[in-house]
Structure 1
Amino acid sequence: MKAITHPIKQSAAFLLLGLVFMALSSCAATYRDHGYVPSESELAEIVVGVDSRESVADVVGVPSTSGILNDSGYYYVKSRVRHFGAMRPKEIEREVLAISFSEAGIVENIERFSLQDGNVVTLSRRVTDKTVNDNTFIRQLVGSIGRFSSGTLQ
């Protein structure tokens, strides 16, 4: 087999090879992470029934979302979105960490939730009592991310 020696043929071969490489590389999935959820090691420093809002803010930072009805807790939200070629981006992972406080501002519950197959799944829970009464906001928050359309924003 003869090697391509003519400069025009050689340039055309390199151009074709470059186009094939670009086409293949554009099909690779890319991932974007949004939000922040403290790690387990950071949460281990928070003692349920002892720490206050201020000490939680010092240890893990103030979240971008907090309880909107009665300022009952801090909510940390993190999600991961996959972009693949020209297809619509798809959220593949979502996690919510809820730290709720008593009326005195002391940590009552630390709960970690995830979304699997459209259902809220409790990953971990550290509570001071057996009743957990603030799940509705978390379920709405986890369930509504990514379900907006341009028609509902008018």
Structure 2
Amino acid sequence: MNITGRKTRAALVACVLMMTVGCTTLYRNHGYIPSDDQLAEVLVGVDTRGTVFDIIGPPTAGGVTDGGGYFYVQSRFQLIGPLEPKEIDREVVAIQFDDTGVVSNVERFGLENGNVVALSRRVTQDNVRDTTFLRQLFGSIGRFDAGDFLGEG
């Protein structure tokens, strides 16, 4: 076999390999939500903002609503080859505080068929506050700029 034939075969193998690897589905997680074990350590009616911060860590978003709750957000993105990343899952843990800064609600929200659903809830009252903020968090699924995640935004 001559040198040109070897180079052609090597180039063909390289192209097939790159196409195969380039079309592989990858998953990337962004954000942080506490585990169920960590959330079990947070006592409704006992813990304060400071103890929650010590147990779980800093929130993804906090103090953005009237109640000044802590929100932990985690998203999962699917990346297929050169296509734009697609957000396929989002989960939110919301910890609400009463006027004195004591934990009043601990809730975990997720998506089911595109709708926000409560996955778990430990509350001192039965009404859910600040659902508009949660709807905004979940409502932006699929609406993001890939450059934000690549450091170009």
AA aligned opposite 1:28? T
Report sequence identity in percent.
Answer: 49
RMSD between aligned residues: 1.7
Q: TM-score scaled to structure 2, two decimals?
A: 0.86
Deviates further, 52-61 or 65-74: 65-74
* Aligned counterpart in structure 2 of residue 124 of structure 1, from 120, 126, 132: 120
CA distance in 2, matches of 1:28, 1:55: 43
Write the letter of the residue equivalent to 1:74.
Y
The structure whose Rg is larger is 1
How many Å apart are 1:12 and its aligned residue?
Answer: 1.8
Q: After alignment, is 19-28 or 140-149 more displaced?
A: 140-149
Displacement of 1:145:
4.1
Task: Assess if the C-alpha contact under 8 Å between 2:60 and 2:72 holds in 1.
Answer: yes
Give the paired residue count.
145
Question: In structure 2, the residue corresponding to 1:111 is in which secondary structure?
Answer: strand
Q: Which runs of 5+ in 2 are unaligned?
A: 146-153
Q: Please list every run of 5 or more consecutive structure 1 residues that lacks an aligned counterpart in the other structure.
A: 150-154
Runs of 4+ in structure 1 over 3 Å off: none
Which residue does 2:40 correspond to in 1? 44
Deviation at 1:86, TM superposition (A): 2.4
Partner of residue 101 from structure 1, selected from 77, 83, 97: 97
Aligned to 1:85: 81
Equivalent residues of 2:67, 2:99 under 8 A apart: no
2:124 corresponds to 1:141? no
Q: Which residue number corresponds to residue 11 of structure 1?
A: 7
* CA contact 1:118–1:143 (8 Å) conserved in 2: no
Q: What does residue range 20-39 of structure 1 map to in structure 2 within 5 Å?
A: 20-39=16-35
What is the TM-score with the length of structure 1 in the denominator? 0.86
Structure 1 pair 51/85, CA: closer, same or farther in 2 (3 Å)?
same
Whether contact under 8 Å (1:74, 1:98) holds in the other structure is yes
In terms of mean alpha carbon deviation, does 113-122 or 66-75 score higher?
66-75
Partner residue of 2:66? 70
> For the residues of structure 2 that align with 1:66 and 1:51, how far apart are their CA atoms?
16
